[in-house]
Amino acid sequence: MTKKSSTAAPSALGEQTSHEESLNPPAIDTSQANASQPDDMTSEAPLDPFASLKAMIEAQYEEIKLLRNQSLEANKNQPPRSTESEAKDPLRKVKFNGKHFSSFKIKFQNICQLRHIWEIVQGTESLPINASDSQTLEFRDKVNLAKSYLQTSLSNEVFKMIREDETPAEMWKTLIANYETKEWSNTIYVLRRLCQLRYEPRTDMLKHITKVPSTIRELNDMGKTITEQETVEWILITLPDSGSDNFNAFINHLKPTPQQEVKLKTLISALLNEEEKRGERARMRRTDRQKTMDFKRHKTDAPTNATHEINAIQARTQPKRSTSLDDKWCFICRKRGNHIAQDHPDFDPNHGKSAQRPR
């Protein structure tokens, strides 16, 4: 009996506890739940469909970066080569057509010095005997660039003269021998052109000033040495010395002394200032003349207009005169009447005419 009751009690107790558990939810172990939660979430979370694509792009980017660094390292060890942009350099627009060789020479020299090929053109730089492959490649690039610059800077007529030359140095020597002559006749021609330079009033002073040094530079290229002080004197000689636009007062104001000479830059600055002052004075004179013409009273206009107005008023107010023949007087009979003088019996056709004198 006791065993049955003991066995029945647990069953009843079990039924009671199960009923209570159904009413109250069981307690959850937070430590175990938190520990197992990430594993459950990672196992249940869906995979990113773009993860493989991103990984592939990053790998390609790293590969491109590596190749770029390798190409930069390789270019550092190679000599510089002429590119297409250099071949299309706008500085090559300098053209020589057979005239003004001195100006062309200076411009072309600056272009070649910019590209480090002026020594190639002059023929002072040559390839070393034991040159490496990189040095040989660099020298060939310079020679080709110099030849291209020289040929494209010449007109078709001048190009025919150097067509048979092979190196840039030979081409340049041919041009020097034909155009940079130091003959006496050419020097006389340029000197005559320098003496004929004259400044025209009311023209650009800066353009006139640049003509004198450019002509003197041609003489220097021909072997005729002209100093800076002589250049200043030549510029002053070209200025007018008579008329209303003379520069006599300006020249006297300079007053050069043996201890202090007039420099070329000082003269150019003074001439430009003088041009500005003269232009300002001319504008002021035109303004004053315009004001005088505006305020000047014309004496003949007012009386003439008044006379015309008075005559018009009198013509409107006075009665019209009768033009009837009854109001006319006959100069023969001295009577009023409607008759013609030719019909009068005493009419003399020679009345009022002077007698003709015999010759």
CB 241 within 8 A of CB 248: yes
Question: Mean pLDDT throughout 240-249?
Answer: 81
Neighbouring residues of 102: CB distance < 8 A, sequence distance ≥ 6: 180, 217, 218, 221
205-244 burial, b if ≥16 CB within 10 A, otherwise e? beebbeebbebbbbbebbeeebeeeebbebbbebbeeeee
Q: What percent of the chain has pLDDT over 90?
A: 5
What is the secondary structure of 25-44 as a DSSP string? PPP--HHHHHHHHHHHHHHH
Categorize the per-residue pLDDT at 294 as very low, low, confident or very high, splitting at 50, 70 and 90.
low
- Is the pLDDT at 238 greater than 80? The verdict is yes
Q: Token pair for residue 102?
A: 């001195």
Select the highest-mean-pLDDT range: 41-45, 187-191, 300-304. 187-191
> What's the pLDDT score for residue 205?
86
Domain ranges of the chain: 93-185, 203-283
Pick from 178, 139, 185, 146: which is nearest to 160 by CA? 178
CB 349 within 8 A of CB 340: no
Pick from 235, 315, 321: which is nearest to 271 by CA? 235
What is the secondary structure of 60-98 as a DSSP string? HHHHHHHHHHHHHHHHHTSPP---HHHHT-GGGG--B-S
Q: 10 Å Cβ neighbour count for 139?
A: 17
φ, ψ of residue 329 to 5 degrees: the values are -100, 140
Lowest mean per-residue pLDDT among 118-122, 135-139, 219-223, 266-270: 219-223
Neighbouring residues of 111: CB distance < 8 A, sequence distance ≥ 6: 89, 91, 92, 94, 149, 153
CB 194 within 8 A of CB 234: yes
pLDDT digits (tens, 9 = 90+) for 143-163: 999 998 888 888 888 898 998
Residue 190 or 336, more confident: 190
Please name the amino acid found at residue 267.
Answer: L
pLDDT digits (tens, 9 = 90+) for 5-20: 444 444 444 444 444 4
Select the highest-mean-pLDDT range: 170-174, 260-264, 299-303. 170-174
> What's the pLDDT score for residue 173?
92
Question: Mean pLDDT throughout 188-199?
Answer: 88
CB 112 within 8 A of CB 121: yes
**Alpha-carbon span 207 to 203, nearest angstrom:** 8
* Three-class secondary structure of residue 148 per DSSP: helix
**Alpha-carbon span 160 to 146, nearest angstrom:** 18
Lowest mean per-residue pLDDT among 22-36, 106-120, 273-287, 326-340: 22-36
Lowest mean per-residue pLDDT among 135-139, 227-231, 312-316: 312-316
How far, in Å, are 217, 240, 317, 347 from residue 304 at the CA level?
Answer: 69, 49, 20, 46
CB 79 within 8 A of CB 134: yes
> What's the pLDDT score for residue 9?
44
- Is the pLDDT at 82 greater than 70? The verdict is no
Lowest mean per-residue pLDDT among 81-95, 122-136, 181-195: 81-95
Say if residue 174 is exposed, middle or buried (CB neighbours under 10 Å; 0-12, 13-18, 19+): middle
Categorize the per-residue pLDDT at 23 as very low, low, confident or very high, splitting at 50, 70 and 90.
very low
> What's the pLDDT score for residue 169?
92
This prediction's pTM: 0.40
Question: Mean pLDDT throughout 311-322?
Answer: 70
Radius of gyration over alpha carbons of the chain, in Å? 56
Question: Mean pLDDT throughout 94-115?
Answer: 84
* Three-class secondary structure of residue 329 per DSSP: strand
Residue 62 or 40, more confident: 62
- Is the pLDDT at 41 greater than 80? The verdict is no
- Is the pLDDT at 3 greater than 50? The verdict is no
Name the average pLDDT for the chain: 74
Q: 10 Å Cβ neighbour count for 331?
A: 10
Question: Mean pLDDT throughout 208-225?
Answer: 84
* Three-class secondary structure of residue 352 per DSSP: coil
- Is the pLDDT at 170 greater than 90? The verdict is yes
> What's the pLDDT score for residue 209?
87
CB 341 within 8 A of CB 347: yes
Q: What percent of the chain has pLDDT over 70?
A: 64
> What's the pLDDT score for residue 119?
92
